Chains A and B, each alone.
Chain A
Amino acid sequence: MKEFFRRTRKSFDSDQSAETVQIPDDLWVKCPSCRELIYRKELNDNLKVCPKCSHHMRMSAREWVGLLDVGSFSETDANLLPTDPLGFVTPDDTYANKLKKSQHRTGMTDAMLTGVGSINRMWIGIGVGDFSFMGASMGSVYGERLARAAEQAAKLNIPLLTINTSGGARQQEGVIALMQMAKVTMALSRLAEAGQPHIAVMIDPCYGGVTASYPSVADVIIAEPGANIGFAGKRLIEQIIRQKLPAGFQTAEFMLKNGMVDMVVSRSDLRDVLDRLLRHYNARSKPPVVQAQAEPELAGYAQGRA
């Protein structure tokens, strides 16, 4: 029976539409954990998990889309763009400029990618954070896309999968960013009312306001092996308690031991686990009709006021 769930293909298929913005990389990659040099193609074929030490390396949001059935993903709310509501300026840079640079470098408009797709033909809403975009910090666009994804999943009566990595709330948007924690949680209450689950995957690293909001109250919480997950950063805690933290502190395994996550699942097994969970929730296997634009009712809540 186990074989039935196993995928024949080993690699994820990354989102085709993003190919044009991929930056050409070197042929060899050094594993940050075991320092081994790995042939990039071999690493990609292994879902960016080090074949020598099983270290799970970071993947972009577009690469994570490969978790879904080939060609099933359609992006939503790509038309929401970040602004600089506070006119935030530091001596090095302005927020407006930082946004522009991050957009150019990553090909993302902000740190959250949302859409609808399927896993073994079971439809789900999906939201994926991208750490390379300003540390996947949660600002207005991150919050709004995710809130809409939750409302849309509720409306379509499908589960929501979030893949979470973040440094926390985006300081350059001040309290507006902090309030996205409440906004996303609000929107997820609609999903709960619809009787659909929120499954959260926490990947490395996941901290601050993201750990302290929606993923930590998901119906099922999955963590990747070795991922650093916590509320306060390790350096801050060490400064305050004036001692070194033990090895393995704030890892996925630490979270499992302390009862904070349901399971630690390696990347190569993730699709199988999600498949089994989705079957349990009896997700629909009929493709929903995806609306290209937010419905008027939703738009009424979110005018942007940019």
Chain B
Amino acid sequence: MNPFMAFVALLVLAYMGGLLSDTRIGRNLGLASGVEYVMLGVIVGPHALGFFQFETVLVFEPLLLLAVGWLAAVLGLQYGRYGGERVPLVLLLWGIAIALACGAGVFCAVYRLARLFHWADQRACVLLGLGAAAVCSGSAHQAVRWATGGQSEERSVSRVLGCLGSADDLPPMVLVACLGFWAPRAPEAFDGGTLFPLMGVGLGLVLGATVAALLGGRLERSEFWPVLLGAVFLMVGLALRLGVPLLAPAFVLGLVVSILSPHRQVIRELVIETERPLLVPSLLLAGVLVDIPKSRGEWILVGAAVGVRVVVQFLAGFLLAAVMRPLRGQGRHLGQAMLATGGGSLVIALAVYFGQPGHVGRTVLFVAVVATLLGELWGGRALRRISAREQAGPVSEGREVVS
């Protein structure tokens, strides 16, 4: 398929995805993570039907990078919010702690195994560990909303899960930013010292503050879209030019706007509409890029990353159930439900894929796909079960947990 036809097909797909996801049928047929689009990408990609080739997808790299940057900014804008309300501090800290624990566990496992198998040099092993940790450490608050049909505000357990999912986006972004410290730099690149990768985050801060200041006391639609779009595009371009990971700066930009702008709620409502239409074609292209590991060692690495994630999320579920009285006895369900991941992880994987081309990018993308698939099959079911139980029974007293 030539790039133009592919582009039109992607646009139509994005449209169909957006149209379907709004309907009840779409919700019943579709999956919370959108992993079905990744699978579709695998099917139409070079490994199966061959409609899309790697080269075709690489033509879209600039568009994909812009989409990934925009989605990261949208994540930043939504960070620490669930169902239109601020995530309580205690849940915010829990979410960050669980994600950090998960990330640390995955990093250690992947790094050790990669070194053990002499998979690559030390630097590549660190990059692989960080990338795998970044895609494995988060869970998806969108999955909770999807499973509960947006009714979770009144339901305690699903709301806790939604809040945790919203809080745990920060550690993956930190891990992605850390990639910049270890990533090989071009010989002609500017030597800005060891803290050079933080320059991207600094730019995110500056541009985020600029956007908030420009939007000022009143929000004019005629200014809003050019200013926010312009700032995010500029951020992506600058990150690429400096050779630093682009996700973290874009996330910081969104986060700063969310903190500083008095119009944060309106802005979130406006940008959330763009999420699905952008995510669907990005996921499809991610599916085309998926390269199934050929060696047993790579399979073991992927299995280890996902396995550690499962163990840590279950442990976290039991810990939460032990600490929070209203969640008692629900540890197993919580652990299962927190396995749900989604678009966020796949977007991170795409950014790593383009930022670290080769073995590292390919393996991280595959880890993300497996983690998402597992989360969908296992976590998604648990979420639906929790939601069904909450809707059937009286509202539990657990609302106090988050109030």
Question: Is chain B found bound to chain A in the same assembly?
Answer: no
